[in-house]
Amino acid sequence: MSVTTIHKCDNCGDSWDASEHRSPAGVVRQLWSVSVAARWVTTPNHRNQVHASIEVQWCRPCVDRLDALGQTLKAPKPEPEQAPSVPPPTAFETIDRILREIAREEAEQVVSERSTS
């Protein structure tokens, strides 16, 4: 038996499995709590009393379109897929390649000497 958590944006309706960290387009999968509260601020005694509030869960693209976070927290654009970097050859691989080149050159020289004789 397994449990699957599905996240759903209250704004655009996009939904995804909790294990997905990026969408197929490469967008970061996050839910953000977006809330609005109304307070009566004309009376100092009621400054912290919330008279009405609403809270919703929005996906990161919807939050970015709202531009409530500004540029500093805006989700970075997905980078294109890069090929994995090839590690440099080991010392053994380098020596092996050099020895094979020397052996090939020697063999070619012997063959060319025999063909000219």
Q: Kindly tell me the number of DSSP H helices and DSSP E strands found in the chain.
A: 2, 4
Q: Which of 1, 31, 26 is nearest to 14 (CA)?
A: 31
Q: What pLDDT score was predicted for residue 45?
A: 63
86 C-beta neighbours (distance < 10 Å), count: 6
C-alpha 47/C-alpha 45 separation (Å) is 6
pLDDT digits (tens, 9 = 90+) for 77-89: 556 666 667 777 7
Sign of CA dihedral 63, 65, 67, 73: positive
Q: Which pLDDT does position 8 carry in this prediction?
A: 93
The pLDDT score that the predictor gives to residue 76 is 61
* Per-residue pLDDT, 41: 67
Query: Rounded to two decimals, what is the model's pTM?
Result: 0.50
Mean confidence (pLDDT) of the chain = 78
Q: Which residues of the chain have pLDDT under 70?
A: 1, 40-50, 70-84, 117
Identify the helix (H) or strand (E) that includes residue 32: strand 31-39
Residue type, 99: L
* CA gap 93, 79 in Å, rounded: 33
Q: What are the pLDDT digits (tens) for 33-49?
A: 888 877 766 666 655 66
